[in-house]
Amino acid sequence: MTEPLILVLDEGTTSTRAMLFTPAGELRGTAQRELTQHYSRPGWVEHDAGEIWDKTVACAREMVERAGGAGRIAAIGVTNQRETVVAWDRATGEPLARALVWQDRRTAAFCEELRAAGHEDAVRETTGLLLDPYFSATKMRWLLDNEPAVAEAARAGRLAFGTIESWLVFRLTDGAAHVSDAGNASRTLLLPLTGATWDSGLCDLFGVPPAALPEVVDSAGQFGTTALFGAWIPICGLAGDQQAATIGQGCLAPGETKATYGTGAFVLANKGSDAPRSRNRLLGTVLHQLGGRRCYALEGSVFVAGSLIQWLRDSLQMIVRADESEELARSVEDNAGVVVVPALSGLGAPHWRAEARGAITGLSFAATRAHVVRAALEAISHQTQNLADAFAADGAEWTELRIDGGMSANDWLAQDIADITALPVVRPDFVETTALGAAMLAAVGAGLHGSLEQACAAMIGGTRRFEPAMANDLRKARLAAWEKALAAV
Ligand code: ADP
């Protein structure tokens, strides 16, 4: 008997991918296409939803062929860049405007207006989020106010809004399903953390017509079927990328925490069935919803992580390749007093200081390129430690940290994070945790595994551990130097 396969559609910010997994978590193939980024004005970031769809289908077709036909595929799982908004016409399935990407800051003034009017505390209490352009609702409002086709479709009752998973499921099912999983929905500012569906008061506040929104559904189940690839394939798993990575890291029990170090760094801690209310400017979010029951997470995002290494490479030309940072860090005994504060685009959690800018402090004639590069990597550990303190203050103390993302390949950094947080750091051998998490949800939705715990046992492989080994006085000195440099930016 041939084994069933799971097709994962991994919709990133810079690329779209399709990947094939077995129910044992083995990767059988990957197809990838880059996505065009449209930066039409400073602070604006747009995607063409039609391009996302076309490239998704192209990647998926490659993988269906690799599988030996659609009949071999038991389920589709989707994972996606979160918060990005697509507006389309329900009748034609055509996009009505460019998609506004999560990074897009055009609604900053609207957010400020709402904050000045005193809405932030109530919004935070209900949704777990902050009034920031990052989240979807103000982007929906902008589209209604500024794109005549969107406003016209709303008047005619034909407007559909959704995040990327919602858009793809609509197209995959030929318009039969307009859904969003609770995890993605919890990033819009329109879903109460503890409410089953959209909140009419929040829809009013942001000026978003509830009729345009998708139905809020579980993260695993049967969300529709697609006939696009020659045989019917059910869509069985949906999750935003950070939620999927948390699941793919096996953080299924309260307290289990992962950090993804890519362009930025995203830390999520499982909070079980308690809706988290941060007092330290972390976010409360839905990790997954199964059988209508929610599991929550506390989240902290750092804007600059791997992008700091890219900046050292491309703008300062201190290194030629990102992985050269490891060799350089190892080539010196310490940082020679150099501290890098990577506030190149402000500071995210737990500081939320949009106006802060980066700094390199402690320079002397003893400082070399290697010291600056080492200090840049050390900054990633220090930012992680600041998040660890905020999580602990919110009652979500870490006992170990599971890491992934492009930067986690750096062994020196992994050890430094363990040293500075004084916690074991665990890195999976298979680092594509986002896609794996989506495959796990799809496997559960399709009944290939009975529960996420069973999927975890069957699909997650080996790990490497980094134990903390730094002398305490050295650690204290590093933390003190960081706090001093941070206070000065
Ligand atoms: P994203 O998914 O956000 O595009 P990735 O997870 O692919 O990012 O990670 C890429 C980032 O990791 C880049 O910013 C790069 O500078 C950084 N990076 C990759 N390899 C290393 C390394 N060995 N050491 C330090 N940084 C690295």
Q: Is the dihedral of CA 402, 81, 223, 272 positive or negative?
A: positive
Phi, psi (deg, nearest 5) at residue 474: -65, -45
Residue 393 confidence (pLDDT): 95
Distance 156 CA to ligand 1 centre (A): 45
pLDDT digits over 342-360, tens only?
A: 998 788 888 888 778 899 9
Task: Name the token pair of 343.
Answer: 């506030």
Q: How many CB atoms lie within 10 A of CB 484?
A: 12
For ligand 1, atom 14, the nearest C-alpha belongs to 306
Does any domain span residue 397? Answer: no
Answer yes or no: is 430 within a domain: no
C-alpha 68 to ligand 1 mean position (Å): 33
Task: Using the mean position of ligand 1's atoms as its centre, give its distance from the Cα of residue 171 in Å.
Answer: 32
For 263-318, write each residue's pLDDT tens digit: 889 999 999 999 999 999 899 999 999 999 999 999 998 988 999 999 999 999 99
What pTM was estimated for this model as a whole?
0.94
Q: What is the DSSP letter of 101?
A: P
Q: How far is the CA of 21 from the centre of ligand 1 (A)?
A: 24
Binding site membership of 14 for ligand 1 (Cβ less than 6 Å): yes
Neighbour count for residue 396 (Cβ, 10 Å): 25
Number of CB atoms found within 10 A of residue 389's CB: 14
Is any ligand 1 atom within 6 A of the Cβ of residue 337? no
Decide whether any atom of ligand 1 lies within 6 Å of the 311 Cβ: no
Name 344's bridge partners.
346
Q: What is the pLDDT of residues 113-133, one digit of tens each?
A: 999 999 999 999 999 999 989
- Give the N- to C-terminal CA distance of the chain in Å, as an integer: 62
Q: Which residue, by CA, sits nearest to atom 2 of ligand 1?
A: 262
Mean pLDDT check: name the lowest of 35-49, 194-208, 220-234.
35-49
* Diameter of the chain measured on Cα atoms: 69
Residue 33 belongs to some domain of the structure: yes
Q: Is the CB of 81 under 6 A from ligand 1?
A: no
Q: Quote the domain boundaries for residue 142.
A: 5-240
Q: Find out whether 198 and 216 touch, Cβ atoms under 8 Å.
A: yes
Of the pLDDT bands very low, low, confident and very high (cuts 50, 70, 90), residue 111 is very high
DSSP assignment of 307-376 equals HHHHHHHHTS---SSTTHHHHHHHTSSS-TT-EEE--BTBB-TTT-BTT---EEE---TT--HHHHHHHH
Choose which residue among 407, 417, 434 to substitute to test ligand 1 binding: the one with the highest number of ligand atoms within 8 A of its C-beta: 407
CA of 488 to the centre of ligand 1 (A): 27
Position 307 in a domain: no
CB < 8 Å & 24+ apart, contacts of 154-160: 154/209, 154/212, 157/211, 158/89, 158/90, 158/91, 159/87, 159/89, 159/90, 159/96, 159/209, 159/211, 159/212, 160/87, 160/88, 160/89, 160/90, 160/212, 160/214
Q: How many domains does the chain have?
A: 1
The alpha carbon of 406 and the centre of ligand 1 are apart by a number of angstroms equal to 4
Is 410 a pocket residue for ligand 1 (Cβ < 6 Å)? yes
What totals of helices (H) and strands (E) does the chain contain, helices first? 16, 21
pLDDT of residue 224: 97
| Eight-state DSSP code of residue 282 | P
Residue 42: predicted pLDDT: 83
Cβ 260 vs Cβ 243: under 8 Å:
no
Average pLDDT value for residue range 157-169: 98
Helix axes 148-155, 137-146, angle to 10 degrees: 100
Confidence of residue 54 (pLDDT cuts 50, 70, 90): very high
pLDDT band per the 50, 70, 90 thresholds, residue 14: confident
Q: Is residue 337 part of a domain?
A: no
Q: Are the C-beta atoms of residues 9 and 18 closer than 8 Å to each other?
A: yes
Q: How far is the CA of 434 from the centre of ligand 1 (A)?
A: 15
CATH at 99 = 3.30.420.40
Task: Please count the other Cβ atoms lying within 10 Å of the Cβ belonging to residue 166.
Answer: 28
CB distance 306 to ligand 1 below 6 Å: yes
pLDDT confidence band for 457 (50 / 70 / 90): very high
Q: What is the pLDDT of residue 175?
A: 97
pLDDT for 16 equals: 96
- If one residue of 37, 102, 263 were mutated to test the ligand 1 pocket, choosing by the most ligand atoms within 8 A of its CB, it would be 263
Q: Is 440 a member of any domain?
A: no
- Residue 429 placed within a domain: no
**Helix residue spans in 147-228 (DSSP H):** 148-155, 164-172, 182-185, 200-206
Torsion of CA 326, 463, 74, 182, to 10 degrees: -80
Over residues 307-326, the pLDDT tens digits come to 999 999 999 999 999 999 99
In a domain, residue 367? The reply is no
Instruction: Write the residue with the smallest CA distance to atom 13 of ligand 1.
Output: 306
Alpha-carbon gap, residue 30 to 14, rounded angstroms: 16
The pLDDT assigned to 356 comes to 85
Q: Is the pLDDT of residue 421 over 90?
A: yes
**Residue 72 burial by CB count (10 A; 0-12/13-18/19+): exposed, middle or buried?**
middle
